[in-house]
Every structure is written in C-alpha cells, then in structure tokens.
A = this chain, B = another copy of it.
C-alpha cells in the first residue's frame, strides 16, 4: 500500500517527462542537463531520481512514449474499404499533424532519437519498431490493394511500405531544417504518384519495364 496514490505518482511522472521533453527539444539530449530538467519541472533532483533511474532512462522513456503515440496513430490504418483512400488519409493525417506547433517539439525529439538509435540498443529497438510496425501495416494495406486490383501486382509491397515511411521521414527532416517547406505541394505530389501507380493496373507493362531494367 503505497504512501501516495497511484494517481499522484502518474502525475509526477508526466510532470517530469513533460519538463524533460521541453528541455530536450530546446537543448538536445546531450546539452540539456538534469539541472535544466529540475528547474523546468519545479521539482528536486532527488524527486526526479525517485521516478527515473538516470538521464538515459528519461530519454528512453520519452522514446518509448513517442513510439506508443505513433503506434496508436496507425491503429486504424488497416481498416475500411477503399485502400487508396486510406493511404491518402494516413498521409494527410501525418502531414496535417505537422502543422501543430506542439508537434515541432516532438519532431525535434524524434530526429534526435534517430541519431541516438545509432549508439543505444534500447533506443534502436524502439526506433526500429517505430518503422517496422507501420511498415507491416502499410505492407498489408498494399497487399490488400493488390488483391483488390487497386495497385499493380508487380510492386514489392514491403519496398513500397519502406518508401512511404522514407517519404515521411525525409519530409520531417527537411521541414525541421527549413520551416518554409511546402507540405501541401509535397502531399499533393505524393497523391499524384499513388494515382499513377493505381493506373498502372490497367496498363500493358512488360516491354517498357524490361527496357528500363536492361541497361
């Protein structure tokens, strides 16, 4: 029977995590100090270490939280009837979210986690799952579209899924460095490409593709 309620613990935890997230977004994981987090959270060092084992643990928890959030976000991807509409919906949801100012903070964390994943296996595991789970969902979606005749059968579903994720990742990077990047044109062109692929279904293919691969 704990001395403080579970609700109190949870509140403290997210108070710390929010403060840490702000610090990390502002300064970067490495430049931000635990003292920064202490100041930002209004708590004491001891209090923070009661909830988190270390600074690395704080980073890891934030990474896990990011992962969970993005997973939830894809939860209803593989439902519904019109596959192409769903892909477009996903894309729109994703790019739309980037307009939220709070999303800037999260994006900054995400990019830092991408770098952090290179050195820390625990982070890498999370980041990889953040690719693998959407990838599986997108692949299933593409496969369903192929079965329905909405996308050509010679497209490698897994590669398509990776490409879609890459298109998201690259856009996140480019917009993080340059706010003026035009998300609408990017999204429109992405949809235009999907249309082009969709139309490939009803098209005679072999000769052209063969020649393209020849060289």
Contacts and interface: CB of A to CB of B under 8 A. Distances in A.
A165 B159 contact: no
Interface stretch (A14-22, A68-76, A106-114): A106-114
Interface in A158-211: 158-160, 162-163, 165-171, 173-174, 176-178, 181-182, 185-186, 188-200, 203, 208-209
Contacts of A168: 166, 170
A131 B178 CA distance: 10
A215 interface: yes
Nearest to A192: B155
A99 interface: no
Nearest to A176: B118
A189 B118 contact: no
B118 A112 contact: yes
Interface in A1-21: 2
Nearest to A187: B159
Interface in A33-56: 44, 46
A158 B185 contact: yes
Contact of A163 (B31, B114, B159, B189): B189
A196 B203 CA distance: 10
A200 B173 CA distance: 29
A208 B84 CA distance: 13
